[in-house]
Copies of this chain bind each other. A is one copy, B any other.
Amino acid sequence: MVRALYKKRDIITRLDEEFRVVGISDSRGYIYDGKGLNLEKLINIKRLSDYMAYHRGGSAEDLIEKNDVDLMVEATPTNIENGEPGLTFIRRALRRGIHVVTSNKGPLVVAFKELTNLAKMNNCHLLYEGTVAGALPVFSLVRKCLQGDKIHRIMGILNGTTNYILSKMYFEGTSFELALKEAQERGITERDPSYDIDGIDAACKIVILANALMNKDVKFEDVKRTGIRRITQEAVSLAKKANFAIKLIGIIDKRIEVAPKLVPINHPLCVHGTLNAIHIESDLAGRITLIGYGAGKETISAIMNDIFTILKDLRKS
């Protein structure tokens, strides 16, 4: 994040010459300087606590209370049980009229309507491009590039880990167990892989997509969810012989569902490895598919784009 802000400082300053990063917090404390932190120093230290004047024991909430904060980037770990601690931070910031950019699914899965209403009431941006499919700008695409279109259906491969496992089974003929083990060894999945392979992560993304882009009022429990635990090598091979691949697909139309589906091998959605893909059906454009990296360092592209959207909008008003 700091590295990207530093790299793009020239373009940022052209949009807002007074732009500065006044504070950053981690789970144990924060650093703050109303005149602006030294980004060049920051990219050369390993831990936030190596920066001078690290307030150990302080919290992000202290930073939100400072008077010179206009925009908060929230990137705490995802918690889909209660959205915390991100939910509290976002609520506080919006109530104080601070624009929010987040890459954290938790708060939006738990409280989408509450937060978007809170943002509207306080005349704030709440942007969350990084929450779904990492670097793929699906929210901006629909809102800024398909402004005349009505979206009928969204289908997507929204979880890179399960796509890695299913691709491994497809191309190398390995069993589910072996493919999962390799994904774990390569650090692609968590030690507890349930979040990915039981479709929980994909279902969270479906909740946000449905609420944000298709005007639904959907909660996590509303997603009909089947994971990939029971996908056998035999099933994958049979599908392959018929020119299909088995993919964990999230669907929003009349259905709100995450489940393994047979996808024709030549369908644009049929991407492999850790790639994500989102297929959008609309009244004017027909069918558009967006493919790219769904997680990892590329997510910074989404966060930066949200920041630029806010800076450009503030400059106009």
Measured CB to CB, the residues of A under 8 A from B are 4, 7-8, 11, 135-137, 140-141, 144-149, 266, 268, 271-272, 275, 277, 282-293, 298, 300-302, 304-305, 307-309, 312, 316-317
Contacts of A286 in B (CB 8 A): 135, 292-293, 298, 301
CB distance from A134 to the nearest CB of B (A): 9
Contacts of A289 in B (CB 8 A): 289-292
Q: Contacts A268-B275, A292-B285 given: A305-B148 contact, CB under 8 Å?
A: yes
Q: How far is the CA of A135 from the CA of B148 in the complex (A)?
A: 12
Contacts of A283 in B (CB 8 A): 7
Q: Contacts A135-B286, A275-B268, A288-B292 given: A308-B11 contact, CB under 8 Å?
A: no
Closest 10 CB pairs of A and B: A148-B304, A137-B145, A285-B301, A284-B301, A147-B308, A140-B145, A135-B285, A289-B291, A144-B144, A288-B292
On whether the beta carbons of B290 and A148 are closer than 8 Å, the reply is no
Q: How far is the CA of A4 from the CA of B277 in the complex (A)?
A: 28
Contacts of A309 in B (CB 8 A): 144, 147
On whether the beta carbons of A284 and B4 are closer than 8 Å, the reply is yes
Give 7 A-B contacts (CB < 8 Å), ordered by A residue: A11-B148, A137-B146, A137-B288, A146-B305, A147-B309, A286-B293, A291-B291
CB distance from A247 to the nearest CB of B (A): 13
CB distance from A243 to the nearest CB of B (A): 11
CB distance from A261 to the nearest CB of B (A): 18
